[in-house]
Structure 1
Amino acid sequence: MRLGGRLAAAIEVLDDIGRRHRPVADALKDWGLSHRFAGGGDRAAIGNIVYDALRRKRSAGWLLDEDTPRAIGFGALLLEWNQTAQSLNEALDGDKFAPPLLNADELKAIAARQLDDAPPVVRADIPDWCEPLFEQAFGAAWVEEGAALATRPPLDIRVNTLQADRSKVLAELAETGAKAARIAPHGIRIPPIAGDGRHPNVQAEPAFQKGWFEVQDEGSQIAATLAGAEAGMQVLDFCAGAGGKTLALSAAMDNRGQVFAHDAEKARLAPIFDRIRRSENRNVQIVTKPTELGALSGHMDIVLVDAPCTGSGTWRRRPDAKWRLTQKQLDARKGEQSAILDAAKAFVKPGGLLVYITCSVFDEENGEQIAAFRDRNSGFVSVDHRQLWDSRFPGHEAAARIGAAGGISLSPALSGTDGFYVCALRKGG
C-alpha cells in the first residue's frame, strides 16, 4: 500500500473509533481481519497514523480548523511524519486508494496557522476539562507536560537480574538500538519509532523466552525500586494485576523472603503464572482466597498498592483513553482508591511501609488522596521522599518532583517516563 491507501485506512479506523466509541486496539484489529491483503508493514503504518492522530487530536484538528477523522489523520502526518501540505498532495495525487486531496479551504487553514499560536490547551493536546488538573499538577510547565504525553513512547525493558544482567541483555538486543535506561538501574530503552516504523517484537527474542527480561516502562521500574523491597522481607502486592511490579519486587529480593500477589479481580492475575515460570521468580505466592489473605494481616514489611486510576500518565501509549475519560470516571477511581487504601492498611505491620502508586498525573488521585488517607489514619506518616529518591537514584535529583506533603511524581517531560506517583507511608509502632 502507498501512503494514500494507508491514510484512507487510518481515517476509516478513526471514524470507527469515533462512531462506536471503541478502544483503538480493537478497531485496528477488526480492520486488519477484514482487510487481510494488508501486510504487516501496512498495518503498522496505519496504526502509527491512528495513534498519532489520537495523541495529537487537538493540535492536528486545530491546524485544519476541524476535528473530523479526515482532519486529524491529515494533521497527524503534518505534525509527526515530516510532511507538508504540498508534499502530501503530491504523494496522494494519482493514488486511487487515497482520500481526496487537501482542498482549498484546508490548504488555506494550514497556511494560516502555526501551532505556536494555538491556545495552550491545544498545544498541550488535552481535553478542555483537564486543563485545571494539569495546571494543578505541573504549574507553569503544564503545557509542556501535556505535549510530552502526546509524543510517541519508547519501548522499555526491565532486566531480570535473577537470570541475566544489563550488559548481557544489551548484547542480545544490539540490533534493536537498545541502550541503558537513563534512571532505572536495570532498565533498557529502545527509542520511539519514527514515521511508518515499528518497534521490534522483543517478546519473540530467545532472551525473552529464557526469562532474561520483561517489557516494563521505566517509570514502573522506578516505582518498584522506591518501594524498597529487600531479601528476607514479607511483601504484599495488593493490586498485582498481571504482575509486572510483583516480579520486579521478587528480583530485588533475590528470591528470598515472600512476595504475595493479590488482586480483587482474579482474571487480572492470569498472565502472572507464565511470567513466573519463565523468569524463575520462586518466592511469589498467588493469593486469591479471603482466608489466605486474612492470614497476612499485620505481618507485612511492605504493602504495595498499585491503585486503579485514570491512567492519565500512560496517554502516550493509550491515547484513546484521553478522549474517553470523564469527571465521573475520575470520581469513581478516587472512590476505589480510598477504599483500597483503607483495606490495605490492615496488612502493614508496625514499622512497615504502605506504598501507594498510580500511573496518573492528577493530584486528586495522588497527593490529595494521600492527604485524605492520613487525615483518617494518624498512625501513618510520610517518609522523607527527597531522601528516599536521592538514596535510590543518586545523580538524578532533577528527574522527579517531590510533593510538599510527600510523594514522588514522574512524567515524560521531566523524567522521560510515563506519568507515575509514588508515596511511602510508615506505620507507627
Structure 2
Amino acid sequence: MELIEKIVSTLSGIVWGAPMLVLLVGTGIYLTVILKGMQFWALPHAMKLIFHKEHDGEGEISHFAALMTALAATVGIGNIVGVATAISLGGPGAVFWMWMTGLVGMATKYSEAVLAVKYRQKGHHHGFKGGPMYYLTYGLNMPKLGMAFAIFTALAAFGIGNMTQANAVATILETQMSVPTWVTGVVLLTLTAVVILGGIKSIGRFTSFLVPFMILVYVAVSLVILCMNLDKLPHALSLIFYHAFNPIAAGGGFVGATMAAAIRYGVARGVFSNESGLGSAPIAAAAAKTNDPVRQSLVSMTQTFIDTLVVCTMTALIILISPFWEQGVSPGVITMQSFTMYLGSFGTIVVVLSTALFAYSTILGWSYYGEKAFEYLLGERFIRLYRVLFIAGVMVGSMMKLEFVWNFSDLMNGMMAIPNLIALLLLSKVISSETNRYFTSRK
C-alpha cells in the first residue's frame, strides 16, 4: 500500500506540474484572444442573465439553479484553506496571479459551457446529458477520450467531491466543537441523501437556497472586518501588486518567496478553486433550461468571477491585514485566526460553519458530476445504485484518514483536464462561431 501511495503521489505531482498549469492558463489566454476579451465587456450582460428565465427553453433547471449547482461544487474549503496556502508558500503576490488565473479562466469556463449545451443529448427518463464526455464524443468523434474523461470524473467525485469534503467537515467540527466524527457522518449522510436522491431538480432547488446564503454571509462578515480596518487595506493591496513581480524576503516565521513561487502557487490555487478547464462545471450547465448555448454559458462564466475574484479575494485581504501569515502559522488555521482576531469567538464560528457549508455544498455539486459520468459509462439504469454508493461514501469519509484519497483525487482531477482541454482547443472555432452568432443577433 505504501508503494501505491508513493506512486500516486508522484504521478499527481507530475500531472499538476508546470506543464499542466501552463496548458490550463495558456488555453484560457488563447480563448480570451479569439473571443476578443468577451469576459470583460460581456460581464454586465452575463450578470443580468443569471435571473433570466427561459420558459420555452429545453432543460430541467433554470440558469440560476445551474449556476448555483456549479458554484456549490467550486466554492469549497479551497476558498478558505487554499488561499491561505497560496499566501504561505508564494507570498502576497500569489493573490495577483490567482486573480489573473480567474480572469482568463472565465473565458475557459464560458467555452466549456458553450460546448456542453450545444452537444448535450436528451436522455430517456432523466432529461439532458452533457459535459466534456459528450462534446468529445459528438463534437470531435472521440468516444474513447470521452470515456476516459467520464472514468476520471466518476473516480474524482468519490474523492475530492465526497470523502475528502466529509472528512474536512468531521475534522473541523471535532477539533473546534468536540462533535464526534460518527455523528457528523450520520448527519451529513442524511442531509446528502435527502437532496441527491431527488436528482438534479432537487439539487438545483436546494443549492439555489444554500449557495447564495453561505456566500452572502461569508462575504458580508468579511466586508465588516475590512471596513473595520480600512486603513490597512492600501498596504495589503500594495503587498499583492508589488510582490507579484518582486520576491519577498524571509521575516518572522515567514520563509520568504520568489516571484516564481508567487506565480506557481497563485495559479495552482486559482485553478483548484474555480476548476476552470477541468470540465466539471459544464456538466451542470448542460441541464439548464435554454434554447441558446451562449446564454447559459455567459451565466456559467460568472461562476469563476464569484468564486475567485469575490470569495477568494475576501479571504486573501483578511489574511493580509492580520499578522499571522508572516509568523509561520499553519495554512490550515491562518484564516480562522485572522477572523478570530477581529471578531473574537464569533469569527471562529463563522469560519467553522463556512468550512462545513462550503464542503457540504461541494458534496452536492460533485454528486451530480459523478452521476452523469457514471450514467455515460453504464447507462441510466444504474443511477440509483450510484446515488446509494455516493451517500455511503460520505459516512466512510467522515470517519477515515484520507491522505491517499486526497492524492488520488488530485491525480484524477488533473487527468480530467487533459481530454477537456484537447476538446476546447480543437473546437475553438465552434465556440467562436456560436459567440459571434449570439452577439451579432443581439445587435
TM-score higher than 0.5:
no
Q: Which has the larger radius of gyration?
A: 1
Calculate the TM-score normalised by the size of structure 1. Answer: 0.27
- The structure whose residues are more often helix, as a share, is 2
- The structure whose residues are more often strand, as a share, is 1
Calculate the TM-score normalised by the size of structure 2. Answer: 0.26
